[in-house]
Chains A and B, each alone.
Chain A
Amino acid sequence: MRTRFGPQGADYAEKFARIVGAEGVLSGPAAERAYDCDAYSVDRSAPALVLLPRSTNEVCEIVAACLESNIPYTARGAGTGLSGGALPALGGLVISTKKLTQILEIDLANRAMRAQCGVTNKKLSDAVRQDGLHFAPDPSSQTVSTLGGNIGENAGGPHTLKYGVTAPHVLGVTMVTPEAEVLELGGKVAGLAGSELIGLIVGSEGTLGIVTEAWVRLTVVPTHVETALIAFPSVRQATETVSEIIAGGIIPCALELIDHGILGALRAAFNLQYPEGTQAMLLVECDNGGQGVAGTTADEVRSDIRRISELCERNGAIHVRVAKDEAERAKLWEARKKGVGAMGRLAPSVVTHDGVIPRSRLPEMLDFVYAVAAEHNVGVANIFHAGDGNLHPCFYFDDRDPQQVERVVEAGEAVIRKCIELGGSVSGEHGIGVEKLDLMALMFTEDDLALQQRAKTVFNRGELCNPCKVLPNQKSCVEHRKRWRGVAW
């Protein structure tokens, strides 16, 4: 087996095969290529080996072996991350969670479920749908992204507007620490002693340890949902309406914006029809679900969507379409769900950026995004969680032309700088990974970053557990970064 550990390489592969079984060790060019990046494909780095443990104990043994032999490691779920969080370290392993796919316990009375980290987000919900429950966070990647990945990135999705991101839905975790211990925090009862540390772990992008199992909160599936797709003659009218909807005291469960760029791509790709003169659409959804408004009735939901429709019309909406039934609701959501995929019609490559701003600043922010794209001579289309102020400008380009690549990177950075200027964050959902290391200093002072570095040492005092991610200027990262930046193996 060819490996990257040098003369002792063969020993390492055998050492790990004794832990995970021979079939749990992948190496060679095909494996290296498959695992050399996640969905952030700008940077690549071939792993030394890929391991597929079958249990928490095997993960723990792997980490112990890594400690013994000074081998860095990076956990990987489905590899759908968009910031390079699963990019292997220099000479490092990938610890894949592909075999940790069991649902361990479903406790309906306590509305909690315990699952291994490799279970997909959607599978968690499917397991309890017949009981009228689901796992509320619904990132767009939910059919493939894993619980572990969702925890690592504090995943969002369209319904976080009402139901929150992943963090409020994690009751407990089992984590293999960088010191090769199996740490259990929290449990099915919310607020157990030690559960305050879970807040540090969710969103830590795999840099504080490897979460192998979690207790998650199950939420009642709303019994009444109203969805509307509203067409506007200008992006500004749509963005101004977003703020007004929320300011009006209504809490929709989703509020998404799709602009003309995406609509054009959808028409080309799927023949999706929409009213003449539409420059932007709002997809709004209201429901009678759990947290928030107690005891909302179906009538109140209908009234909410009616109030929203009327508000949109007052703001110049061309057309309002309210779904009559479940089938029509699915049809309305197609525009949102197929949007990014349809971008393939516009150019060979798309980079989906991620930033967040206070929603009242959306109108000026979108103006800025279009201006930046024009200035840099790249195409842009916008499809995003307007209700949260979480932007996803999609710059499209041809990555065979290095000048275009450079302009896209610059345009993306300009957008993020603007987000911070407007009081937002450098990342709403996708995380820092490697992609935004250099941008952390825009949002945080040196003292803030010192505090971050301290926080890391609560769990991670070494340099082996997913090194050189999230925090800039960590020592020994120079070699990693030289290897990553555009150097393909």
Chain B
Amino acid sequence: MNLIKLSWKYLTFRPLSTGLNALLLALGLAIMTVLLLIQDQFEKKMTQDAAGIDLVVGAKGSPLQLILSSIYHVDFPTGNIPMEEAEKLAKNRLVKGVIPLALGDNFKGFHIVGTNYDYLKSYKATVSNGILWEKPFEVVLGNEVAVQTGLKVDDVFAGSHGISVGGHEHDQYDFKVKGILEQQGNVLDRLVMTSIESVWLTHDEQGSLDSTAMNGLSSHDHEAFQRPVAQTGFPHSDRPREITSLLISYRSPMAAIQLPRMINSRTVMQAASPAFEMVRLFELLGVGVSLLRGLAFVLLGISGIGIFIALYNSLKERKYDLAILRAIGATRFQLVILIFLEGLSLTLIGALLGVGFGHVFLQVLISSNEQSVVSGIQAWVFLPEELWIIAYALVVGLVASLIPAWTAYKTSIALQLTRA
């Protein structure tokens, strides 16, 4: 028998009160843990995904939507832009590099991105299995896509129109998996990458079947299906074509001032800066985050008061116990330690539960949103800041135990035990 065991016995002697208080504390800490994990990884991921991209150019609309659809692949594209305009822009002396994107289809919710090899190079992506695409309808899968769909090299599948599950299927021509990327830890993991030509041909096909009148594209060009695709720059085309957006890197800081203004005022396209739009997004989300954080603090405060009341009430019932402990040799100081131990072990349980709950909540959040941005977040990463959460909880326990411990210190044995 010792003080730790005794304090534990006292806690388990009142399982409901102990459980309720630990749970309250755990909920507050779980919210804090989730916020901490999301904030840490989300911002890191956001910056990582946008690395090397200074400007996104696409059809006019919401700049935030353009960024979300072209960099993070979570929102609908704003529309298409003529490739001719994009090519003109690429020749601007302020532009160092351009990566064209053609979006609009998905496979089981994973976006299909028509692009060129530069896109993969900008993320320093390497193929773990197979090779890159060389002809139309050949694709490379992001690691997570491969894992979740079970597709392997040389498997074939049909994409669907639109960027969410359930659009009608483009079943005329199947995509063929040529390679699978290594785990990147960025947006590429969730993408199906192919050539811009593949995206064009898919929709040409659609057009010719749906309405033969569209753009006069009724002729079936079998040759186009065998031609090697462009590996860098814009693909070759003998008729006016459209792409979705353009990822641009600047040649000089001057470009940041001149280029967006020029594009927005003099072309049919719009330019959006990822850095600027992300700051705006975090500002919008910030209200929700501070609300949640406030809620977490309120829960922590309530649980602190709860622990205080539980200790204080149990102390009233236990004044005889405390006096008896003194009578059989416990010093005042040992009683104080006993009360602190009780408060601290209660908060420690709550803190461990809370951090555990936080990770489980996040896991649930991630697995219920497999194709969204949060899916790239790791639920079982442990941050050093989590130790602060536990330390913070222990401080709450310490503060809540102060007055009860003082009361225990002041307990007079004689008055308690021999009063008839």
The finding on whether chains A and B are genuine partners in a shared complex, rather than unrelated, reads no
